Chains A and B, each alone.
Chain A
Amino acid sequence: MKILVFVKLVPDLVEELEIDESGKALDTTWLRMIINEFDDHALEQAMLLKDEHGAHVTVLSPDVADVDDVLYTAAAKGADQLVKIRGDLEGADNHTLAGAIAPFVQELAPDLVLTGVQANNDLDGALGPILSETLGMPYVGYVAGVALSEATVTARKEYPGGLAAEMDVALPAVLGIQAADQPPRYVAVSKVRMAMKSTDIEEREAAELDASAGAPIERMFQPEATERATMLEGDEDEVAEALIDLLRELGAM
């Protein structure tokens, strides 16, 4: 069993986001990148499958700042092969990314491709479906739990409203992971340091990028701060009464 996990780095929302002078992109001066939370779950799911069934896990990621730390951490958790794709991929949209990584996925020929179901910088749709389309593989998204058998995987797909479905998917396939069976594990810093010494990151050059497939960005906006909020004054009863009046007025009651 060969599993490929695609992870990307996204802006860390601990820092305040600013828009650059062009008005079309984030200002990267103070921007820090962090592993997409859902990709971290995809990695964990791969580790759990490896723990249970044995697997060769490859982690693939675009070469952007701080990616080495993410890849070494994956190695410390148990990933077997680390690959970063070089090219002008910082800020690339998902259509461009899918096009850039598809040849490598085909070359590595995994049985299963896992990636996060979404990311905070998805402006042109999630990566998983685009990638699966490019690769001609089936795709199931919003997966929270994966079980393996010989030629299929059973994916537990979540729907809104607490519904879930179990789907058998023929391999090879792409799964968009919403949550792994367990929360991502902790890996001690000393283990990451060891991984840095004992693991190599393979570097591969991306083929020509096609930036035309995604959605063109006209302008970015900061969320508007307005002063429409009304503070209700008074004791509990007065506030409750005022709130009820307000809800009636708005037709909510």
Chain B
Amino acid sequence: MSRAMSRASRLHRLEELLIGTSKGYTLRELAEKLDVHRTTAWRDLNELSREAPVQQEGHRYLIDRKDYISSIRLTSGEALMLYLALRRLLRQRSHLPPMMLMALEKLSLAMKDPSAAQLTDLLESLKSEMPSNPERARIWETLIQAWIERITLRVSYQEMGHSVVDEMKIQPFLFEPAVLSGGVYLVGRNPCHDALKILKVDHILRATLTTERFERPCNTTIDEMLRRYWAIWYGEELTEVRLRFSDPIVSRRVRRTVWLPSQKVIELPDGGIEWVVEVPDVFELVPWIRGWGPDCEIVSPPELQEQIEKAEYEFGGVTMTTTDVPRTRSFTDQFYASVQEITEGERIKTCLQCSSCSGICPLGFWMEYHPRMMITAIRAGMFDPVMESDSVWMCVSCFACTEVCPAKIPITEGLMTRTKEEMLLAGAVPRELQDALENSQRYGNPLGESARKRANWARGIEPAIPLMAKEKRAVDVLWFVGDYSSYHPRSQVSARAFAQLLRALDVDFGILGPEEVSDGDSQRLAGERGLFEILAEKNGKAFAKYQFNEIVTTDPHAYNAIKNEYPALGISYPVKHYTQFLAENLDTLEPLLTKSVNATITFHDPCYLGRVNGVYDEPRELLKAIPGVEFVEMTHNRENSLCCGGGGGGMWLDGFTWEKTQSRLSEWRVREAVHASGADIDVLRPLVPEKKRRRTAPEAEEAREVARILAVACPYEAPRFEDATKMVADAGQLLVMDVAELLVEAMAA
């Protein structure tokens, strides 16, 4: 008997040893530690292996902590309690993590009849009623391993109702169930921003382990940190919240559930109840209280009442009324009047508050004041808070809101741009945008490059690209090259490709070179109207010096400015985007496209070509004219296209937007392109730019020659999307190429 006892405790000790080691123990070491002969240790080890996942690595033995932590002995009462806790957690979950099922199974084994039989039945019904989800189970396993072993995680996280997926690193400190909802939260630190993060486990889409370890702070430190962030923790200072429910049915419903452990229910003579709790942060209750609607009346504290009213106001609820107090002509009124002065601006009065604008806005969910709320604020006579927020700088002037608005309100041009103008006049400009604007003013381009070097992209092209100032003659086409095609190294490649096409089509053309300045359109949409006018006037003077039949531009923003904005300043010339020009000449161009480009190609509609100016078909016609191309559409296409994130000043606010949202529209778009162009296609050798080609092994030269290509037609896009392919998983083989570059590729002898 005593021998058996000692064996049981020895096995227990052995188990502890094997769990506690990361390197493992040899048989000899184990024998020494257990103070038994090696053969006994060997027998014990075999015995334990039957119950616990003992692993052997070489001559060493250990139990992996992620598989198994410890054996515990429970009384039936304890097992039942655990079972109830698990059952409660399960009640609010849509998927059944296999781990939970296994835990329940083990519990049922540990429990004696009659509970065990009952539990087995329940288990069977649970298995049938809840789908298991192996992917979620893997995520759970990864999270738990990281938590136990203190390894930093990389997770993809998508909040409810948000379409953007955040990629972030997180050091998991602890797991905690929410008080009033069914979720389980992972609390941890984001090491990149040194910020505490609370992630709902169900919203974690992917989790992988990094190689970085971290130190877990002590529990009191975690409590201390959390108190500032969230109210699931017990604070020291408690506030009493008193709520009254009068409706007898609702009262019964409230009374029946223990919502919070500290709750007290006081019966009222009229059949209603007062529900009293003490909580560290009353505002955590706001969504719960709102859920009861008018059935819940707040007795105290008053600030909770304010919070609820504010929420109702912000969400367009019943309390949203303008004040009757007579006001002087406030900033809001002046602003409202100025919006109405622009073309179709009066339509702002017809806003239905349907929120389509805010819903379709690719960054709307990040904005403190999204477009619909901005109009709400105007109507409430309270636009000042909008001006104090910087959320309008997230607007990329992509026209999605304007396109979708059923009341046809010019939201982009009116509301958003006017707000940016006011922000700019008030000097509230993010630093990086300020630099771009100052550069545009001083050098005539936002990149801060020398105006004299504007034609440097064309160096080395033979015969030389004709400069209007040198040609001193009339040409057929004046090519307005634009800022990024002139200066950005990636976009210069596209510019050179278009030059090749012009030559192949034998077009009589010229460029302005140093006499050309920025078209100014993005500066205008970033709120700098005065700067736009100066730039437009400079271009207008340069245009007036020369004779040409039409302007063709490689930049959709320039196309938009010259077509729609310059005429109001007395600068009026026929203008085409280069894809329109080439599509017009497709009869001449098509016979030159002799080389097959074996590729799946999708096309990104530039906002200022597509949505704003309705040019959707021409770039597609050009792409489809290329032999060998399989053309596919992305989820968002044509009117519904997604912005690359560069419009309306976004090109110069990448840092700002990243800081606010930790997301990039360009990455979102690239994910769509990867999805649209198929998943199992290899690199197309000849299409890979030479620099990239050198990096791959020579044997890959023989790889299957089908490319996945994201075609673009705006000089902002190639650099933006190419950067994004470096960040998006599976996008490594996606090529970003300008339509002009693809046509040149198909032309090559």
Contacts and interface: CB of A to CB of B under 8 A. Distances in A.
A187 B533 CA distance: 16
B448 A186 contact: no
A106 interface: no
A151 to B, nearest CB: 31
A25 interface: no
A14 B449 contact: yes
A53 interface: no
Contacts of B533: 189
Interface string A10-25: 0010111000000000
A15 B425 contact: no
B438 A186 contact: yes
B443 interface: yes
B567 to A, nearest CB: 21
Contacts of B421: 188
Interface residues of A, number: 16
B450 A188 contact: no
A34 interface: yes
A14 B443 contact: yes
Interface string B505-534: 000000000000000000000001111011
Contact of B437 (A183, A186, A191): A186
A204 interface: no
Contact of A191 (B425, B443, B448, B450): B425
A189 B441 contact: yes
A15 B453 CA distance: 9
Contacts of A34: 442
A118 B421 CA distance: 34
B431 A189 contact: no
Interface string B533-570: 11000000000000000000000000000000000000
Contacts of A189: 441, 528, 530-531, 533-534
A16 B531 CA distance: 26
A190 B530 contact: yes
A239 B438 CA distance: 42
Given A183-B431, A189-B441, A190-B425, A14 B528 contact: no
A186 B442 contact: no
B502 to A, nearest CB: 30
B74 to A, nearest CB: 55
A73 to B, nearest CB: 9
A191 B421 CA distance: 12
A36 B329 CA distance: 42
A192 B437 CA distance: 14
Contact of B425 (A12, A183, A188): A188
A30 interface: yes
Interface size class, chain B: 20 to 34
Given A14-B443, A193-B530, A187 B427 contact: yes
B530 A15 contact: no
Interface string B425-444: 10101010010011001110
B334 to A, nearest CB: 16
Interface string A182-213: 01011111111100000000000000000000
B452 A188 contact: no
Nearest to A13: B450
Contacts of A193: 530
Contacts of B529: 190
B448 A14 contact: yes
Interface string B25-44: 00000000000000000000
Given A186-B424, A188-B424, A191-B425, A30 B452 contact: yes
A200 B434 CA distance: 26
A190 B434 CA distance: 15
A103 B533 CA distance: 41
Contacts of B450: 14-16
A185 B427 contact: yes
B434 A186 contact: yes
Nearest to A77: B427
A193 B530 CA distance: 8
A58 to B, nearest CB: 21
A232 to B, nearest CB: 17
Contacts of A187: 427
Nearest to A189: B530
B357 to A, nearest CB: 26
A113 B437 CA distance: 30
Nearest to A193: B530
A191 B533 CA distance: 13
Contacts of B441: 189
Contacts of A30: 452
B59 to A, nearest CB: 32
B698 to A, nearest CB: 16
Contacts of A186: 424, 427, 429, 434, 437-438
B434 A188 contact: no
A186 B449 CA distance: 20
A112 to B, nearest CB: 23
Contacts of A191: 425, 530
A193 B528 CA distance: 13
A34 B448 CA distance: 13
A188 B437 CA distance: 9
Nearest to B427: A185
A188 B528 contact: yes
Contacts of B427: 185-187
Nearest to B533: A189
Contact of A188 (B448, B449, B530): B530
Nearest to A194: B530
Contacts of B424: 186, 188
Contacts of B425: 188, 190-191
A185 B438 CA distance: 11
A192 B528 CA distance: 12
A31 to B, nearest CB: 12
A189 B536 CA distance: 13
A132 to B, nearest CB: 31
Contacts of B438: 186
A188 B424 CA distance: 6
Nearest to A16: B450
- Residue picked from A12, A14, A188, A193, most chain B C-beta under 10 Å: A188
A187 B434 CA distance: 9
A191 B441 CA distance: 13
A16 B453 CA distance: 11
Interface string B325-362: 00000000000000000000000000000000000000
Interface string A100-138: 000000000000000000000000000000000000000
Contacts of A14: 443, 448-450
Nearest to B523: A189
A14 B531 CA distance: 20
A233 to B, nearest CB: 14
A61 to B, nearest CB: 17
A191 B529 CA distance: 11
Contacts of B534: 189
A192 B427 CA distance: 13
Contacts of B429: 186
Nearest to A191: B425
Interface in A6-52: 12, 14-16, 30, 34
A192 B533 CA distance: 13
A160 B144 CA distance: 48
A181 B454 CA distance: 36
A237 B728 CA distance: 28
A183 B435 CA distance: 11
A189 to B, nearest CB: 3
Nearest to A190: B530
B45 to A, nearest CB: 42
Given A15-B452, A189-B531, 12 more contacts: A14-B443, A14-B449, A15-B450, A16-B450, A30-B452, A183-B431, A186-B429, A187-B427, A189-B530, A190-B529, A190-B530, A193-B530
Closest 8 CB pairs of A and B: A189-B530, A190-B530, A186-B434, A189-B531, A186-B429, A185-B427, A14-B450, A188-B424
7 contacts: A16-B450, A186-B434, A188-B421, A188-B425, A188-B528, A189-B441, A193-B530
